[in-house]
Amino acid sequence: MTILIVRHGETDGNAARVLQRPEVPLNGRGMRQAELLAQRLSTHGFVHILCSDLPRARMTAEPLAARSGIAIEESPLLQERNFGDIRGMAYAALPENPFGPDFAPPNGEDWPTFHARVAAAFAFIVERRRSINGTLVVVTHGLVCRAIAERHALLPHGVVAPERFDNTSVTVLHEDVPHAVSLINCTRHLTTALEADQAGGRA
């Protein structure tokens, strides 16, 4: 019985390397990724879905809910870092690195504020997992995935958290302290689908 941490599917903002506004939905590719994710996770027999309340996360969770009949529980604690006034801007257009250790976006979250929220989010995740009898799926955002892996879980020896978590990637961690990670940033459901499509094309 485990916790599955999932990053949402692709959006146009992801593809264009833009700091996203809260209302941005999945694009067509992201919707397909969400369906492939649901196909994969349906074999896990999960019993609860916890999700960021932003549309791109909700849209990623909806195929999971549709396949399983399990309702989605939303929480704003699972939102992506709030970049405030620079949301909607391309990374390349910014005068400094928005992910730098000292960068504080105007009217947004600095790193200490973001990490404090993620700590509260992870405590909530663990509490929710302990209240159910089975696997918990958590659909959230890339920086949240990385913060959980770096600060709240035990990575295998020699493994470091990736700088960027891929769209619909799956990270598996144990529900008990020290929350050992057995899989990180895995997108084999997307690779398998691509291989099948290519095989179909060759035939």
> Contact 106/85 with Cβ under 8 angstroms?
yes
Give me the catalytic one of 8, 48, 141, 189. 8
Q: What angle do CA 17, 189, 33 make, to 5 degrees?
A: 45
Number of helical H runs and strand E runs in the chain: 6, 6
44 is catalytic: no
48 is catalytic: no
How many other CB atoms are there within 10 angstroms of residue 64's CB atom?
A: 25
Nearest residue to 168 via CA among 9, 3, 49: 9
Give me the catalytic one of 10, 35, 74, 80. 80
79 burial type by CB count under 10 A (0-12 exposed, 13-18 middle, 19+ buried): buried
158 burial type by CB count under 10 A (0-12 exposed, 13-18 middle, 19+ buried): exposed
Convert 81-109 to b/e letters by CB count within 10 Å (16 or more is b).
Answer: bebeebbeeeeeeeeeebeeeeeebeebb
Structure tokens at 14: 């992801």
Active centre residues (catalytic):
8, 80
